[in-house]
Amino acid sequence: MLILALIMRNKQSEVLKDISENQLKRSVGLYIHSKENNLRNTLNDYTYWDETVDFVKTKDPEWAVANLEGSLNSFKFDAIYVFNTNYQEVYNKTNEQHPQLGKFPIKSDIFKILYKNRYVHSFYYHDTTLIEFLGSTIHPTNDPEKVTDPAGFMFYARVWDRELINEFAEVTSTQVKIIKNIPAKQPKEKVNDLTIYHPLNNYLDEPQAYLVFYKALEGYAVFSKFSRFFIIVMVIFCVLIIITLSYTANKYIYKPLVIIGESLKSNSIAKTEELQPYTLEFSEIGNLITQFLQQKKELEAAKEKAEESDRLKSAFLANMSHEIRSPLNGIIGFSELLKERQSDEKVHRYASYISGRSQDLLRIINDILDFSRIEAQQMEIQYTTIKIYPFFNELEATYSLNNENSEIKTKVIFRRGENISVNVDEFRLKQIFINLIDNALKFTENGTVEVGYQVAGSNIEFYVKDSGIGIPEDKLKIIFDRFRQINISASRQGGNGLGLAICKGIIDLMDGKIWVTSKENQGSTFYFSIPI
């Protein structure tokens, strides 16, 4: 009887551990596949685009800065490479954290595989750094399936750093590390521990490194402890009450263990509820299994939701970028060409109107895209150290030129304090000022808009003050909400209600705050502060 109990315990232990291992492998595989799909969708957005095809030929640096360089920050890549069909490098950009990627060798045979498959996913272990590559052929916008001959090749690369490894560990509830090779002699695994190795292959399907996932099986430990307890009991009483012991073993050990195995195999929470009438230990095992299955379902639901959200985001960004921005650029270009080449005053006036409204629509689209990135938590802040005086000089020159070329009577005045250095994202700081100043000009028919700053402890406090129509007191609480517009009829031009919401979102990302003071018909002052 004792031997039978030992055999049964070992068999159930093997089944429980095998099921747990298979569940962990499946969860890891699902998550890694989901991450690759997200990266692949991002790469596809940029590689079936007419403007990318043109860039391979023109090598326009301004277009690269506006479109390709920003994607490194937006989608958390560390390097981007563009090649023409002769395998010659057209563009190369890396972030500051990993400058070694700038001279990273891309072997010529990868282009042949990429030409054939249209997409390649590969890992490369360099020194102590694991680098992930994604490559895709470049095609026009009207060829999303990429059946035509490629116009070039684009690669994204990212370094697998500690932050990414920690993300894997958090999602899979395991301890994770990267090793280059599986050791020939592996350390002896504890009974209640689980270790799996997931290969990371190159484009030739050769392992370059391995992800090692380690997890302690808490339910297994409880199960083992409880089994040992009953075996001891059986040793003491097997001679005296062999019949009773046989009945007890069958009812209180074997059946609940079968329920545990069946519940794990079937992923059935209802099945684990059958353990509740049994002893406290088996009830606790049932609770642990229930928690495990619930977490698994939540993970799968979160994965499906994330994939759906990513698909919607990708479709939205692709549609906005490809279907609206490209024709708008054409409208703006041809209207400017009409203004330059047509001497007829009426034609010149109409062309100016077309160009102005197209610029307005392009700004609206850019605002929507920026707000979408903020909402999706995909906007990254790139900090650099700047001097305030040169920054204000550039802003002042921009608005001085605008006043000379327009009928706006409102004057923009810049007040300078101490010429200090500030660690900020210069592009986003300029975007905040342009939104606030343009907003002030909308609601100030004939007056002044004052821009300045002052140092307040460890922060720098900026302000934009106007002498316009002001904001009613009951509207101050909603002024920074999205799609909110106050006194629309009183402005010289419309708006989309996103400018102030974008400003607040960017300032929040820079650990700052924004607020407003205003009185109706007496003007408004917008303040925002950020750490120096």
Task: Give the 3-state secondary structure of 114-177.
Answer: HHHHCEEEEEEEECCEEEEEEEEEEECCCCCCCCCCCCEEEEEEEECCHHHHHHHHHHHCCEEE
Question: Rounded to an integer, what distance in angstroms lies between the CA atom of residue 53 and that of residue 101?
Answer: 24
| Structure tokens belonging to residue 20 | 């747990």
Same domain, 365 and 389: no
Confidence of residue 245 (pLDDT cuts 50, 70, 90): low
Question: Rounded to an integer, what distance in angstroms lies between the CA atom of residue 60 and that of residue 73?
Answer: 20
pLDDT tens digits, one per residue of 402-453? 665 556 677 889 999 888 999 999 999 999 999 899 888 888 888 889 999 9
Higher pLDDT, 238 or 5: 238
Same domain, 221 and 367: yes
pLDDT at position 460 over 60: yes
From 292-301, 398-407, 458-467, the region with the lowest mean pLDDT: 398-407
- Of 332, 359, 378, the residue that ends a domain is 378
HSE-up of residue 322 (Cα within 13 Å, Cβ side):
20
Same domain, 496 and 421: yes
Q: How many domains is the chain partitioned into structurally?
A: 3
- Of 378, 401, 435, the residue that ends a domain is 378
pLDDT tens digits, one per residue of 334-360? 777 776 766 677 776 777 777 766 766
pLDDT at position 267 over 60: yes
pLDDT value for 182: 84
Instruction: Tell me the residue range of the domain where 331 lies.
Output: 1-31+217-378
Same domain, 372 and 414: no
Average pLDDT (254-283) is 70
* Global model pTM greater than 0.75: no
Same domain, 140 and 12: no
The single-letter DSSP state of residue 108 is T
Same domain, 344 and 469: no
| Burial class (CB within 10 angstroms; exposed 0-12, middle 13-18, buried 19+) of 77 | buried
pLDDT value for 388: 92
Same domain, 443 and 467: yes
3-class SS of residue 343:
coil
Confidence of residue 189 (pLDDT cuts 50, 70, 90): low
| CATH number assigned to the domain comprising residue 81 | 3.30.450.20
pLDDT value for 148: 93
pLDDT tens digits, one per residue of 474-498? 888 888 876 666 654 544 455 556 7
Give the chain's mean pLDDT. 80
